[in-house]
Structure 1
Amino acid sequence: MARLYESRKRILVTGGAGFLGSHLIDRLIDQGHEVLCVDNLFTGTKRNIDHLHTHPRFEFMRHDVTFPLYVEVDEIYNLACPASPVHYQHDPVQTTKTSVLGAINMLGLAKRLKAKIMQASTSEVYGDPSIHPQAESYWGNVNPIGPRSCYDEGKRCAETLFFDYQRQHGVEIKVVRIFNTYGPRMHHADGRVVSNFIVQALKGEPITIYGDGRQTRSFCFVDDLIEGFLRLMETGPEVTGPVNIGNPNEFTIRDLAEQTLAKVGGSSALINEPLPKDDPKQRQPDITQAKAVLGWQPTVELSEGLDRTIGYFRDALPRLEG
């Protein structure tokens, strides 16, 4: 059941027409807040927010966060940035600018308004980790000049800016490190493993496994992730993060492919392709801090989450590809 607040807030969500942003906005609207959704629609889509078009407490603004934004709000969630390799490598310079200039512009706005601000960071700040699972104290193992660096280092720099704005200007910040997340409204062609496998299986195409499939990931359902966002934003100024939000249950990529194919049915073959450069061999969050500070842990098992995500794509795929 959604928690209702005594005082209505006006909340800015950048990247609000994206996968995570649109789910966050739904929760904020359910809580009684007003939401300003800002998105340049590079990877986001109005389809994700069409159901809110006539809602009296929802407003959409098409804007690129690499340019300053002058609005009046009480809180800011900064989610703007392409988050899949297919999209963030399409224009790597723009990806870095979105992370770095976007953080500067949103932090400047938060400073002026004295508003609380959350940065959607990523487990990619850990790179190809040399420790397992990854705790927030780990500084990472990141290639600063590789094809993924625009995203990895852009997000690392954004975290730096957030903590410098806190120390230098007293801005109240929250930093969340997001691990692999899936669910309805994922982009059908973003190259992420869950959407890839589901779409390929539904279309009867071969399911593409990069490498030998023994690399591991931990998959968090979107509803669980958004609950983590909200709990972190509710904390006082003494809690800044970074906080890992993700599901610590670890699966190999081949496990995921086989589960997906079993649920969808059909006769798609599993085929192997070369592993992309700098693709991490393992990724699993240590969520000790999230449990202790936020009282948060995921509740949706992979099997249930896959069922809900497959149901979404089964219904939406003809429209998405039309």
Structure 2
Amino acid sequence: MRKVLITGGAGFLGSHLCDKFIDEGYHVICMDNLITGDQSNIEHLLSHERFQFIYHDVTEFVSIEGDLDYILHFASPASPIDYLKIPIQTLKVGSLGTHNLLGLAKAKNACILIASTSEVYGDPLEHPQSEEYYGNVNVIGPRGVYDEAKRFQESITMAYNRFHGLQTRIVRIFNTYGPRMRLNDGRVIPAFIGQILRGEPLTIFGDGKQTRSFCYIDDQIEGIYRLLFSSYELPVNIGNPKEITIIDLAKEMEKLSSQSIKFNFKDLPKDDPLQRQPDISLAKKLLNWEPAVDRAEGIEKTINYFMNLPKEALYKTEHKRFEKHIKR
């Protein structure tokens, strides 16, 4: 039976990948230390005969018994609230963690897919962003701990590819949303949904004219899956190219919620990108992939998911094991 290791498997993207590979008939090993992941995301899989959960921090040595066909490295804080609170752990998981998993892939002769991010482009001077763009990143700014962790992650992955002949894939993930996100992790759509459900004003940073492009989780997972089984070893953008300003998104969600909502404007965070839109020409050509879920449909599905959660979930901010990692 084909076997896949998914790190960060109890997180938002990771848990959906676990579902995908279970559905495709794989034996799935989910590895997570639950700093930002949540075991409730994989609760439905724990009794499955082809699913195994391992509580482990990938910045420590990683060992898996038996054969291993694929590794998907998705362990990393991914929201500003998280990586600004645990900056050193964020850098360690992108460097030490990636090194450990590349070593494991080499030992097992496994293909490894690395989850990178659109943040490698920083506050881009090129628009939309193609894979050939090198980015505009402030390496010593507060966001640099995440941006540079991911840029290093790509560099060491390509070093293993070129020096050791390792089979590697790199996905540059653009803003993604859907069920299982944390409402209060600082990312735009879940933050807006949480505020709407709590009856609070929507927080808009700056004048709200900065742009983002939002991809629904089902589309993102399909793109990642197709990339893994391609033979392409350089980075590929996976995201939705339909760009929208934050203020227009807020108005769109106000309309979807069928209620009058106030806006609360705050100063724009340092180095917050003013534009974010993927050029997905390569993914279209290489993977025959492009998003299929309309934003309004995806947001409605996401709102319905959160409406069915217990009320206390609307106020949950951090996980039980989060605080002990802050000083590491």
> Which category describes the TM-score, using the shorter chain as reference length?
over 0.9
What are the ranges of 5 or more consecutive residues in structure 2 without an aligned counterpart?
317-328
For 1:286, give the aligned amino acid. Answer: D
Q: Equivalent of 1:53, from 46, 54, 59?
A: 46
Q: Equivalent of 1:211, from 206, 213, 218?
A: 206
Query: Does residue 238 of structure 2 align to residue 245 of structure 1?
Result: yes
Q: Equivalent of 2:256, from 244, 263, 278?
A: 263
Show the 5 A alignment for 1:1-322: 8-71=1-64, 72=66, 73-236=68-231, 239-316=232-309, 318-320=311-313, 321=315
Instruction: Give SS of 2:136's match.
Output: coil
Cα distance in 2 between the residues matched to 1:154 and 1:309:
29
For 1:182, give the aligned amino acid. Answer: Y
Deviations 1:112-149 (A, max 9, x none): 01100000000000000001000000000000000000
For 1:251, give the aligned amino acid. Answer: I
Deviation above 4 Å: which 4+ runs of structure 1?
A: none
Cα distance in 1 between the residues matched to 2:246 and 2:18:
30
**Structure 1 residue 16 displacement after superposition:** 0.2
Cα distance in 1 between the residues matched to 2:19 and 2:312:
22
**Structure 1 residue 265 displacement after superposition:** 2.9
Q: Quick check: 1:204–1:266 contact (8 Å CA) kept in 2?
A: no
Cα distance in 2 between the residues matched to 1:314 and 1:77:
31
Cα distance in 1 between the residues matched to 2:18 and 2:74:
11
Q: Quick check: 1:187–1:195 contact (8 Å CA) kept in 2?
A: yes
Deviations 1:271-308 (A, max 9, x none): 21000000000000000000011110000010000000
Cα distance in 1 between the residues matched to 2:50 and 2:249:
39
TM-score with structure 1 setting the length: 0.96
Q: How many residues align?
A: 313
Cα distance in 2 between the residues matched to 1:144 and 1:204:
38
Deviations 1:73-95 (A, max 9, x none): 21100000000000011010111
Instruction: Give SS of 1:196's match.
Output: helix
Cα distance in 2 between the residues matched to 1:154 and 1:94:
10
- Cα RMSD after superposing both structures: 0.9
What are the ranges of 5 or more consecutive residues in structure 1 without an aligned counterpart?
1-7
TM-score with structure 2 setting the length: 0.94
